[in-house]
Amino acid sequence: MPKHIIKKYMPDHNLVRNHKSLRIFGRLIHDPNLWHLNRRSVSGAFFVGLLCAFIPIFPQMVTSAALAIIVRVNLPISVALVWLTNPITIPPLFYITYRMGCWLLGEDAAVEQFQMSAEWIESVLGEIWWPLLLGGTVAGLILGALGYALIRCFWRWHVVREMRKRKARREQAGALGQKPDTTG
């Protein structure tokens, strides 16, 4: 199953549970469903994590964790996906989502000279917040839905492939007169 692939890269659940930013959720964070690795939980976590990664809100990790708790999907994956937008990727991604928001609103981009600095963003935030929020939300919804669908398809493909391998091993063992290996 794909969960063996995912488990290899998952952080320790105790480390995530005790993260200082997530302590505000108290006992809610101890729900076992938030730590399961199954098709529903992982695909839902991709949707939540990618949605929160592209919406220009802060703190994104806490928002992602809150949504993961509400919809009961894998918490570590949804929080980890928020880091797709990091200090290196935020300026170009938010510029693209700002331009998308302007396009959706039918407005011209009010920003003439884009600069990759926090000071510049603070100075023009009053002008760009609505297109940035709209573009980020739309991009997050689209990419979240795409991530959800891709994970569901990958998981299904992986399970079917493993079932076919097991069936082939059983048939091969039966043809040789041996006891079939059912361990997978």
- Tell me which of 46 and 30 has the higher pLDDT: 46
Degrees, nearest 5: CA angle 71-93-44:
15
Tens of pLDDT, residue by residue over 114-130, are 666 777 777 777 788 89
Mean pLDDT (whole number) for 77-87: 91
DSSP letter for 55, please: S
Q: Which two tokens stand for residue 100?
A: 């998308």
Cα distance between residue 23 and residue 76, in whole Å:
14
Q: What is the pTM of this model?
A: 0.78
Got the DSSP string for 154-173?
A: HHHHHHHHHHHHHHHHHHHH
